[in-house]
Amino acid sequence: MSSASVDLLLITGAGASRNLGKTDEPMPLMDDWSNALVDALEAAERGLAARCGLRVSLSGTEFEEALGLLLRWEAFKYLNSHFAEMTDSASDFQRLDGTATQRLGTLRRVLDQTMYGLFGQERVDTEAAAAAYGNLLRELKVRTLAVATTNYDRSCEAALSALNRTPDTGFRIDDSESVPRLDVRGLIRRAIEGQRTPCLHLHGAIGWYQKDRIVYDHKADHPYNQTLGTPVVLYPDPQKDPTNDENVAALWDEFLVALAEADRVLVLGHSLHDPALIAAIRAAQPKKLGVTFLMSSDAPEEQARIREQLPGATPVPIEFGAELNIDLSHGYQLLP
């Protein structure tokens, strides 16, 4: 594969989906999910949100830190039973540990229900998505495209399908099954050679469920259904490690291939609060790298933040939506 086989690698974050909601209702950001989760936890058990370290009006960053801390504790909570004798009353400790386990189960259920309710495909305006992505790709005169997103929603796939740039998320139909299963090995090469558009969901996606170590792609516009398996997503956590899940790790392997093969890289609508993503882009050292920021933001502050995270990147003010607005005044350019 030559270096020009991927003309543009588009890396999208929550800001890229924000203006693509139906009936002019914005797609949610992390702080929106945080508030919805707090309400749902309180409905399940009074005071449960506070017990989880969550409260109304947390910023997106605060929400990720609080939820990430809780889920990291959950991952090692199994050790509690091994050291119950370290307390004065092992039986009381085990009883309290059982209560915590029950509440964590409630959190998990409500977390997945709110995630599917907020980021499900029924929330996405396909026409707006197609207009937004179509305008951007025309502006950049994109030939071959690869997309990598940290979003759970599937607006990029809906847009690509509407634009006749057939998305390839890595799912294949097995002869013995009717539901596609994930197999991303060689996705970038396979998609480009087959004239499809690779679409890598780096944090998993709505509709992805794992059962017996196999990831299946079910309906993205259906509510959360625990009978289908375990959702395949990386939940909000500033310290999340993509290699902890073998399926997500395989997607990141393909992402590294895309970074190495791309002639141009554009980061669209991403907060850059993702150490793993930043480390991958820095290591790849793309020669042509653009990073967008909101036109309504403090331009000097945003430019400084972008250049601190990704030295050498070209910051560009943009409003991404059905009506694309790019500020190319004052020496701005979309990509160098």
Give the residues across from 265 on adjacent strands.
Answer: 9, 289
Q: What is the pLDDT of residue 307?
A: 94
Q: What is the pLDDT of residue 182?
A: 94
Q: What is the pLDDT of residue 331?
A: 65
Contact 152, 181 (CB under 8 A): no
3-state helix/strand/coil string of 130-170: HHHHHHHHHHHCCCCEEEEECCCCCHHHHHHHHCCCCEECC
**Sheet architecture: strand order including 262-268:** 167-168, 197-201, 145-149, 6-12, 262-268, 289-294, 314-319, 325-326
Element housing 238 (H / E) = none
Question: Which residue ranges in the chain fall short of pLDDT 50?
Answer: 1-4
* DSSP letter string, 24-90: GPPPP-HHHHHHHHHHHHHHHSTTHHHHTT--TT--HHHHHHHHHHHHHHHHHGGGGGGGGGGSS-H
CA torsion angle 202 298 159 264 (round to 10): -70
Contact 160, 189 (CB under 8 A): no
pLDDT, one tens digit per residue, over 14-47 is 999 999 999 878 999 999 999 999 999 999 999 9
The single-letter code of the amino acid at 112 is D
Q: Find all residues with CB under 8 Å of 46, minimum gap 6, and list them.
A: none
For residues 189 and 169, what is the distance between their CA atoms, to the nearest angstrom?
13
The SS3 assignment for 21 reads strand
Q: Find all residues with CB under 8 Å of 210, minimum gap 6, and list them.
A: 216, 229, 230, 231, 232, 247
Joined tokens for residue 211? 């059962």
Q: Is the dihedral of CA 309, 33, 71, 42 positive or negative?
A: positive
Q: In this structure, what DSSP letter does residue 178 have?
A: S
Contact 215, 232 (CB under 8 A): yes
- In terms of Cα–Cα distance, which of 278, 267, 269, 330 is closest to 308? 278
